[in-house]
Amino acid sequence: MSNPVDSAVGADLPQGQIELWVRQAQRGDLSAFDALVRRFQRQAVGVAYRLLNNMDDAMEISQDALLKSFDKLKTLSKPSQFGPWLMRIVSNLALNRRRSRALRAAVPLDASGGEEDERAEAGPTDPRAMTPPEIASAGEMEDKLDRALARLPDIQREALVLFSMGQVPQKEVARMLGCSVEAVKWHVFTARKKLKEILAEYL
């Protein structure tokens, strides 16, 4: 007999399925939480990657976020909001990692520096290497989007990724970025406009 969780993960989910999995997981059903992981892991990695521009960091952050969500799952009062809730955890961890990285760059923890630090900051790993290139053109467009996002000012990229990809409410984005809701709206609008300009020849 097939597991309904397994059959539903890769398909279009019926309304309420996420909420059902969350409620089952809150009661201790590990297979239900595994379904949530498989449903949201790629999105979590994507949000973390576009905030950190480093695939190794993004994979680590997404795993940390999923573990944290498992530990805190019983505190989630609205199971239907698991996706945005998880993305807020991912975003908070990613932004903390960015701040920590910036601090280390400004104040070296040791005097060695050298090749290891240079490799760590050399640039993002190609995200296409993480998954089979099922559709080459889609992979190329994803790479162009990543490069375009990297050209945006940090605050614009963060606002756009948190709001559009992370599905984080604007009020929460404003709190995370330390600005007003109106500023978030402006940053998202400006970021989208710049992306359209950068990607105009591909759209």
pLDDT > 90: what percent of the chain? 34
pLDDT tens-digit profile of 150-177? 888 888 888 888 888 787 888 888 888 8
Domains along the chain with CATH numbers: 1-122 (1.10.1740.10), 126-203 (1.10.10.10)
> Which pLDDT score, from 0 to 100, does residue 167 have?
79
Residue 48, both tokens: 């973390």
> Which pLDDT score, from 0 to 100, does residue 203 have?
60
Name residues whose C-beta falls within 8 Å of residue 34's C-beta, 6 or more positions apart in sequence: 5
Mean pLDDT computed over 7-13: 48
pTM over 0.75: no
Mean pLDDT of all residues belonging to the chain: 77
CB 199, CB 144: distance < 8 Å: yes
User: In Å, what is the CA distance from 51 to each residue of 25, 68, 71, 92, 188?
Assistant: 29, 19, 24, 10, 14
> Which pLDDT score, from 0 to 100, does residue 146 have?
79
pLDDT tens-digit profile of 46-60? 999 988 888 999 999
Residue 141 reports pLDDT greater than 90: no
pLDDT tens-digit profile of 84-138? 899 989 988 988 887 766 545 544 444 444 333 333 333 444 443 444 444 445 5
Name residues whose C-beta falls within 8 Å of residue 166's C-beta, 6 or more positions apart in sequence: 47, 84, 87, 88, 90, 91
Residue 64 reports pLDDT greater than 90: yes
- The rounded distance, in Å, linking the Cα atoms of 188 and 169 is 12
